[in-house]
Amino acid sequence: MAVDMRTFLAHVELANPITTAAGCAASGRELAQFFDLHRLGALATRSITMAPRAGRPTPRMAETPSGMLNAVGLQGPGIDAFLERELPWLAQRGIRTIVSIGGGTVAEYSELARRLADAPGVTALEVNLSCPNIEDRGRVFAREGSAAAEVIASVRSIMRYDVPVVAKLAPDVADIVAVARACVDAGADALSMINNPLGMAIDTEALRPSLAAVTGGLSGPAVLPIAVRCVWQVHAALPGVPLIGVGGVMTGADAFQLILAGACAVGVGTALFHDPYACLRIERELEDLLQTRGFQRLADAVGLAHRPPGSAPRHLLVDSEESSP
Amino acid sequence: MQVTGTVLTTRRVDAYHALTVVAPGIAERYRPGHFVSVAVGGAHTSMITRRALTVHDVKPDYGGTVELVFTVRGPGTAWLAERRARDTLDLVGPLGRPFPLPRDPVHCVLVGAEYGSAVLFPVADALMERGCRVDFLLGGASADRVFGAMRARRMAETTTLTTEDGSLGLRGKVADALPSVIADTRADAVYACGPMETLRAVTAVAIEFDIPVQVAVEESMACGIGVCMTCVIPVIGDDGATRMVRACAEGPVFRGERVRFEDVGTIPFDALGAPGGGARHAG
């Protein structure tokens, strides 16, 4: 029997839990050359900013062991061009779209939310909190619970009630649970974690940093354990909050780890650079895994690893229930 | 499209490596200038970015083969160099925008430096099919790094070779020899592929002669399909505005005079969305 792969992001139903990770699917059209985007649970856009952004100078990428560093600098078309060209293209095709936004001030995030509030085709709004706060010496919002909460509260008050607001959290913080709680208290309907932790590589031939921007976001399988840890900690503290697990997912088993840790949806990012069909493959592998483990619904596996040690494996539990009179 | 190709033959071409891979879907759709990306390191590799490779030749044998040319620059290309016949490779392609070809039978100079020359041979085939006259100008640091000299001699009306150490042909770089080649062949257009510095110099010569120049850039890429945004270069659009465009999706072929070679590796202050200025001129 097929596994029921439906999942809920707050009250929004997704046909399956696999989404693209923000910033890893460009405008959507690039991946549409390879497969039908309707087969994704949702497509997350790159982080849209108010003005067009040219991003960082090159080199922007460096391969690292089981991962890569990137310093793209939110290159993107700006909100006007996004609303004119990119969002309608997705909306006309009925593709579930998580729009990611990025800004330098609370006012900028609010203005972006205002522009998106009436735009058709926004399934959910993801707030990229890993942007430098211009008003606070460039410290990123996600590092500071109060700064993150201020952004979320403002965006939540502007966005339509039926569009979930998702806070995207960074792992480079002393206490991710505190930031998560601040965002939820400020009105976040769901949380997405993790954004890239910061890393750095040095070119031993040029004797200089490999990236023009010196530091960059680390992604790929190298960061999966960090993502699992963050999802685990936040789910333990806030079990009722829907979590999108993101970070280094390359296989269905990786996605399954995040789901067992407490994620109800899984973002696939760097894997797309390696394999344009990664989302479909991971979804299929995840479904197979769930089926082999005796699950009928994905929802039954969410956070299951949190059950106390010594409790019986779930599929055995099902068997004993069925055999009992 | 993504295919699992089977390696048919491997060979060394001077300082470079060439792999012929059976990849029917890719061979069928290939146009000169396209590239392919290949996963390296096998199933459980720690190398997660694909390598973008130049296609040197496409043949209809075995349902369609592509010959890929590369040089060993790191562990990924070293792994590729160790592939043997019957090994399989994960290929995605054909990728990028191909070279535009002239409608009329014009005279074309094809300029290649290092293994960038490889991409010019399918271009030459296509041009000759259209009745164009083709002349080659190939160069490299030393004789073993001039790719395809023999094949060029067989195909082209004239072939000029340059090496920086003088070990083959003229001493110097391709751009140094280009003015006389253009003058001698009365060329109407230039096609070029090679390192950024070579393309900059070649474009400058073509502009001097006031003839169109099409360049295929070699920029490092992670995905090759336009999603990772790491291979951007500053290019002037039809509207006169400079944008940071992806070498993989908008390129790798550009009109030479549109590429701001001096500014590659920077964000020009007047680029669309540049920090502190360009953004204000948007729209």
pLDDT tens-digit map of B219-259: 888 899 999 999 999 999 999 999 999 999 998 999 999 99
Helix or strand run (H / E) with residue A320: helix A314-323
pLDDT at A136: 81
Considering Cα of B157, then B163, then B168, then B171, what sign does the dihedral take?
Answer: positive
What residues of chain A lie within 8 A of the CB of B50, using their CB?
273-274
Chains A & B: contacts with CB separation below 8 Å: 124
Query: A81 and B266: CB-CB below 8 Å?
Result: no
Rounded CA-CA distance B1/B34 in Å is 13
Helix or strand run (H / E) with residue A30: helix A29-32
pLDDT at B277: 53
Question: Can you tell me the mean pLDDT for A48-75?
Answer: 93
What residues of chain B lie within 8 A of the CB of A47, using their CB?
none
Q: Hey, is the C-beta of A281 within 8 angstroms of any chain B C-beta?
A: no
Which of A63, A68, A72 has its CB closest to that of B229? A72
In which residue are the tokens 């562990």 written? B75
Query: A58 and B219: CB-CB below 8 Å?
Result: yes
Asked whether the beta carbons of B51 and B19 are under 8 A apart, the reply is no
Rounded CA-CA distance A123/A162 in Å is 9
Rounded CA-CA distance B74/B144 in Å is 19
Q: What is the pLDDT of residues A241-299, one digit of tens each?
A: 999 999 999 999 999 999 999 999 999 999 999 999 999 999 999 999 999 999 999 99
Helix or strand run (H / E) with residue B193: strand B189-194
Provide the b/e sequence for B113-131 (b: ≥16 CB within 10 Å). Answer: bbbbbbbbbbbbebbbeee
Query: B273 and A33: CB-CB below 8 Å?
Result: no
Which of B243, B271, B282 has its CB closest to that of A78? B282
Choose among B226, A22, A79: nearest CA to A87: A79
Question: Can you tell me the mean pLDDT for B47-61?
Answer: 91
**Over chain B, what is the mean pLDDT?**
91
Q: What percent of chain A has pLDDT over 70?
A: 95
Distance from CA of A159 to the nearest CA of B (A): 26
Q: Supply φ then ψ for residue B98, to 5 degrees.
A: -75, 175
Q: Supply φ then ψ for residue A277, to 5 degrees.
A: -95, 10
pLDDT at A322 over 60: no
Beta bridge partner(s), residue A245: A193, A266
Distance from CA of A84 to the nearest CA of B (A): 12
Beta bridge partner(s), residue B20: B9, B67
A57: tokens are: 């100078």
Query: A59 and B274: CB-CB below 8 Å?
Result: no
ipTM of the complex: 0.88
Query: B279 and A270: CB-CB below 8 Å?
Result: no
Task: Provide DSSP, A233-252.
Answer: HHHHH-TTS-EEEESS--SH
Interhelix angle A106-117/A145-158, rounded to 10 degrees, is 30
Rounded CA-CA distance B150/B142 in Å is 15
Which of A30, A76, A221 has its CB closest to that of B225? A30
Query: B49 and A63: CB-CB below 8 Å?
Result: yes
Asked whether the beta carbons of B101 and B134 are under 8 A apart, the reply is no
A131 is known as an active-site residue: yes
pLDDT at A316 over 50: no
Q: What is the pLDDT of residues B10-51, one digit of tens each?
A: 999 889 999 999 998 899 899 999 999 999 998 888 999 999
Rounded CA-CA distance A43/B180 in Å is 54
Choose among B63, B57, B52, B49: nearest CA to B19: B57
Q: Supply φ then ψ for residue B198, to 5 degrees.
A: -65, -45
CA-based nearest residue in chain B for residue A81? B283
Q: What is the pLDDT of residues A133-192, one digit of tens each?
A: 888 888 899 999 999 999 999 999 999 999 999 999 999 999 999 999 999 999 999 999
What residues of chain A lie within 8 A of the CB of B219, using their CB?
58
CA-based nearest residue in chain B for residue A277? B2
Helix or strand run (H / E) with residue A284: helix A278-292
Task: Provide DSSP, A96-117.
Answer: -EEEEE--SSHHHHHHHHHHHH
pLDDT at A321 over 50: no
Rounded CA-CA distance B104/B132 in Å is 8
Query: A58 and B222: CB-CB below 8 Å?
Result: no
Q: What percent of chain A has pLDDT over 90?
A: 90
When scoring B37, B46, B228, B267 by the number of chain A Cβ atoms within 10 A, the one with the most, hence best to mutate, is B228
pLDDT at B279: 42
Domains identified in chain A and CATH numbers: 7-306 (3.20.20.70)
pLDDT at B218: 87
Asked whether the beta carbons of B29 and B40 are under 8 A apart, the reply is no
pLDDT at B219: 85
pLDDT at B275: 83
What residues of chain B lie within 8 A of the CB of A68, using their CB?
48-49, 222
Asked whether the beta carbons of B91 and B50 are under 8 A apart, the reply is no
Indicate the pTM of the whole model.
0.91
Active-site choice (A131, A230, A264, A279): A131
Rounded CA-CA distance A86/A45 in Å is 9
What residues of chain A lie within 8 A of the CB of B262, using their CB?
none
Chain B residues with a Cβ under 8 Å from any Cβ in chain A? 1-2, 39, 46-50, 76, 90, 92, 219-220, 222-223, 225-233, 243-244, 249, 264-267, 271-275, 278-280, 282-283
Please give the angle made by the CA atoms of B85, B91 and B96, to the nearest 5 degrees. 135
Query: A57 and B265: CB-CB below 8 Å?
Result: yes
Q: What is the pLDDT of residues B100-157, one digit of tens each?
A: 999 999 999 999 999 899 999 999 999 999 999 999 999 999 999 999 898 999 999 9
Interhelix angle A176-185/A145-158, rounded to 10 degrees, is 30
Beta bridge partner(s), residue A63: A68
Query: B244 and A55: CB-CB below 8 Å?
Result: yes
Q: What confidence tier does A313 reach under pLDDT thresholds 50, 70, 90?
A: low
Distance from CA of A205 to the nearest CA of B (A): 12
Q: Hey, is the C-beta of A253 within 8 angstroms of any chain B C-beta?
A: no
Please report, in range form, the residues annotated as the binding site of A for substrate.
70-74, 128
Distance from CA of A73 to the nearest CA of B (A): 10
What residues of chain A lie within 8 A of the CB of B231, using their CB?
58
Distance from CA of B193 to the nearest CA of A (A): 20
pLDDT at A135: 82
